[in-house]
Structure 1
Amino acid sequence: MAGNNIKILFWIHKSKQNRKGEAPIYLRITYNSERKNISTGFNVAPSRWDGTKGVVKGLKEDAVQINGYISQTKARLMELFNEMLKEQDINLDKLIERFFGKDVSDISLLELVELHNKDFESRIDIDYARSTFEKYDILQKKLKAFIPYKYQKKDIRLRDLTHQFIMDFDFYLKSHDKNEHNTATKYLKNLKKIVNTAVIKGWLDDNPFEAFKSPYKDVDRIYLTQVELEIIRQKTFKQERLSLIRDIFLFQCYTGLSYVDMSKLVHNNITDGIDGRKWIITRRRKTNVRAAIPLLNQAQELLARYNTSCADSNTPIFPFYSIQKFNSYLHEIAELCSINKNLTSHVGRRTFATTIALANGVGLETISKILGHSNTRITSQYAVVNDIKLSLDMEELRRKLGDKTTD
């Protein structure tokens, strides 16, 4: 008869810290030299983790929640282990199956995606932004359409996944859904991440998509020139909704705020900065990085149109539409202004980084701080060295070379 030498350990994976500096908490079950590591779905700052006791330090709400989960999990696993001892049939895979209430061998891809997305959705505004969740939600819808289209069945078991599956899905996204390469690549990378959670949970031995590579391609990043920006600013619209969308978009162009950050912007975020002028002080929803933005005169003029009398309140500054409607109305604005560019919310953010800031001599590090990026590498994707900046730099070079010639 097997001995009762099971070990249940909770630990943190410090090398997998997220952007907030938090590390994922794992459950490790060891029996007779066999080991299984399972992600708990929780994250915690390493400084808050008591490695000796295997719990989160302190009495904060999240610490109480996580420690409660740890305690209950240990108790339930020991209960199931003791049942298997009596049955004289101890197997870690079966133990995990009983714990999760599912036969691991029958778990399907869509079930895995559903589990992942439900967990992800529960942590919106805690660990993740809703906009990030929406990308996984769209991926789920695309998989639900692809599997019947390609395999004439509703779902596919995890153990039946092959490298060919993701290759076929890649082709489907580009040929059937007409997604651009980089858009398709983002869906594929997210799918690989989800399947990786099955490996972490011990439901797959390895990720069948691991060898699949689809790097992003360099693309021309759209932004507005100063002339185009002025055309939009001066345009009179008959529809009130287009005037509102134009003002919100211009506010993006003069502040660099993302759409989700603008939608959450309240009057309390407008405050006196270190120079005595008006600043926006907020935290980016996506990264939780502090964003401090000195307001340009153009941005202050836009703010003045939207009830600044309640400047100490927590009420939103702008009325907002969904991101889908916002981008749709921007397309109308572009057409009415005869601007042949695909205007989206992201274009406003890039326009600030390039036309407003970079082209006027603002350094990349300063732009990065204003955009709320965690490093300048991310900012460089927005602040492309455009023709205006090249022209200004070369003009300065000509001046310097001319000065040397006359000496």
Structure 2
Amino acid sequence: MANAKFILKEPKAKEETLIYMLFRYQYKRFKYSTGEKILPKFWNVDKQRVKETKQFREYPEFNARLNNFETAINTAFRKLLNDGIQPNNTILKKTFEAELSGNILQGNKLTLLEFIKNYIEESKAHKKEGTVKVYTTAYRYLKKYSAYLNKEIDFHSINLEFYNQYVSFLSLEHKLASNTVGKHIKTLKTFMNEATDRGYNTNLAFKKRKFKTLREESDSIYLTLDELEKFEKLDLSASPRLEKVRDLFLIGCYTGLRFSDFTQIKPENIITEKSIIQVRTQKTGERVSIPLHKTVKKILAKYDNHLPKAYTNQVMNRYLKDVASLAGLKETVETTITRGGKVEKTLSKKYDLVSTHTARRSFATNLYLADVPSISIMKITGHKSERSFLQYIRVTQEQNADKLVNHPFFN
């Protein structure tokens, strides 16, 4: 017997998740994205509908739309049987969507740019401000490209020809760095994946291997243990703001946490009896356990386990350069970046390159050079593969040779 049911894409998600319709018929299964999203806490699994609660006042209209889906699929299936047509998923989908279009406004009529605009507005309610900013910037450049072409960019436009021309547009017309271009491509693929999941898009050319996210290895620096010791030994009592920035930065250097995490450490995160810090990271939501380094213990004791409130990331970065200069990080460093298709070389003082993210990179690199197993470091940094982890750390050819010189293979 044919029947329809509704399930959540991610039933245990903490944010809104898609609702799929499953229709089983003649030992086959037809799966369709309704394009509707709901917080799992508002979903009634038994009734396969939204809970009738004041916390979600739109439940009557929401459930009515799901009822339309169920009515349309049942009607489409019955029509095929009545017309003597043997149903399969392709025929059923076409008939179902034709039936559905008579009941509800079809989301497929949205253009790509309209979908992205709506998705950004929707994201403001449950995604981080930084993510929304990335989405908005990507949307703005797509609109610029549409104006540049003097034609609408739609879902069917996103193919390898578009990819090559858009990469050139970003690189040559706007002189964006390779990694920035790569971020725009990655964000576009996020939009396309979301639109595909919701049933707005059927063009999968963006999933091809050549439709790749560009990535250029950065020249980001790290600080050695000797340099970190210079930071620690600085007497900054005459400048409380620099002292606070230095202390928080060192916490990051010896925990490997991101700025958003090491600036939010609370007394309850410190497990004294086990000599570890336990934190649920903001970016990934993972819980990490990190041994307390002696420097971290000293700083925590200094503030009685209540770390001072941090400045913004931008202000921290500005003050960090002052601290790094006082610590004597004045050697000249050459950095390169590909912009507008050309490699640009820049000479900078090392203190000018220090930022809050240098802390996390320093942690990973120093542990790696101390022969701590990569898998153990990755448990803290959150890298999913050793390949991505090794791209993240900063090890020179000479340092790598020093690590290997005592290996049994060379002796």
TM-score (norm 1): 0.69
CA contact (8 A) 1:11 1:26 kept: yes
Aligned match for 1:195, one of 182, 192, 195: 192
| Corresponding residue of 1:314 | none
| Structure 2 counterpart SS, 1:122 | coil
Structure 1 368/213 Cα, relative in aligned 2: closer, same or farther at 3 Å?
A: closer
CA contact (8 A) 2:49 2:63 kept: no
1:122 equivalenced with 2:116 (yes/no): no
1:369 equivalenced with 2:379 (yes/no): yes
1:343 equivalenced with 2:354 (yes/no): yes
| Structure 1 counterpart SS, 2:290 | strand
C-alpha deviation, 1:191, in angstroms: 0.4
Q: Which whole-Å CA distance do the structure 1 matches of 2:384 and 2:119 have between them?
A: 26
CA contact (8 A) 1:11 1:54 kept: no
For 1:350-365, what aligned pairs fall within 5 Å after superposition?
Answer: 350-355=361-366, 357-365=367-375
CA contact (8 A) 2:223 2:358 kept: yes
Aligned amino acid, residue 5 of structure 2: L
1:111 equivalenced with 2:120 (yes/no): no
Q: Which runs of 5+ in 1 are unaligned?
A: 312-316, 402-407
CA contact (8 A) 1:327 1:345 kept: yes
Q: Which whole-Å CA distance do the structure 2 matches of 1:24 and 1:374 have between them?
A: 25
C-alpha deviation, 1:257, in angstroms: 0.8
| Corresponding residue of 1:247 | 247
Structure 1 174/225 Cα, relative in aligned 2: closer, same or farther at 3 Å?
A: farther
Structure 1 55/377 Cα, relative in aligned 2: closer, same or farther at 3 Å?
A: farther
CA contact (8 A) 1:56 1:66 kept: no
CA contact (8 A) 2:368 2:374 kept: yes
TM-score (norm 2): 0.68
CA contact (8 A) 1:223 1:354 kept: yes
| Structure 1 counterpart SS, 2:124 | helix
| Corresponding residue of 1:151 | 149
1:26 equivalenced with 2:20 (yes/no): yes
Q: Which whole-Å CA distance do the structure 2 matches of 1:224 and 1:82 have between them?
A: 65
For 1:165-314, what aligned pairs fall within 5 Å after superposition?
Answer: 165-211=162-208, 212-235=211-234, 240-274=240-274, 277=275, 279-308=276-305
| Corresponding residue of 2:334 | none
Aligned amino acid, residue 225 of structure 1: T
Q: Which whole-Å CA distance do the structure 2 matches of 1:18 and 1:220 have between them?
A: 39
Q: Structure 1 stretch 185-194 or stretch 200-209: which is displaced more?
A: 200-209
Q: Which whole-Å CA distance do the structure 2 matches of 1:259 and 1:161 have between them?
A: 36
Q: Which whole-Å CA distance do the structure 2 matches of 1:294 and 1:132 have between them?
A: 30
Q: Which whole-Å CA distance do the structure 2 matches of 1:80 and 1:257 have between them?
A: 51
| Structure 2 counterpart SS, 1:292 | strand
C-alpha deviation, 1:138, in angstroms: 3.2
Aligned amino acid, residue 183 of structure 1: T
**1:151-204, Cα deviation, whole Å (9 max, x unpaired):** 357x64445555444333322332344433233212202202212322333323
Aligned match for 1:327, one of 301, 311, 317: 317
**1:243-272, Cα deviation, whole Å (9 max, x unpaired):** 433322221111111111123322211122
C-alpha deviation, 1:103, in angstroms: 6.2
**1:75-110, Cα deviation, whole Å (9 max, x unpaired):** 35468899999xxxx8625735964x46633x2333
C-alpha deviation, 1:70, in angstroms: 7.3
Structure 1 70/245 Cα, relative in aligned 2: closer, same or farther at 3 Å?
A: same
| Structure 1 counterpart SS, 2:372 | coil
Q: Which runs of 5+ in 2 are unaligned?
A: 79-94, 331-348
| Corresponding residue of 1:95 | 100
C-alpha deviation, 1:364, in angstroms: 1.6
Structure 1 29/287 Cα, relative in aligned 2: closer, same or farther at 3 Å?
A: same
Structure 1 102/392 Cα, relative in aligned 2: closer, same or farther at 3 Å?
A: same
Structure 1 122/304 Cα, relative in aligned 2: closer, same or farther at 3 Å?
A: same
Q: Provide the identity percentage.
A: 24
Q: Which whole-Å CA distance do the structure 2 matches of 1:18 and 1:130 have between them?
A: 23
Q: Which whole-Å CA distance do the structure 2 matches of 1:236 and 1:135 have between them?
A: 39
| Structure 2 counterpart SS, 1:361 | coil
Structure 1 83/367 Cα, relative in aligned 2: closer, same or farther at 3 Å?
A: closer
**1:192-242, Cα deviation, whole Å (9 max, x unpaired):** 221232233332331353442345344455322234333444456676444
1:318 equivalenced with 2:346 (yes/no): no
CA contact (8 A) 1:290 1:372 kept: no
Aligned length: 363
Q: Which whole-Å CA distance do the structure 2 matches of 1:36 and 1:271 have between them?
A: 47
| Corresponding residue of 1:37 | 33
C-alpha deviation, 1:368, in angstroms: 2.1
Q: Which whole-Å CA distance do the structure 1 matches of 2:13 and 2:157 have between them?
A: 34
Q: Which whole-Å CA distance do the structure 1 matches of 2:66 and 2:47 have between them?
A: 11
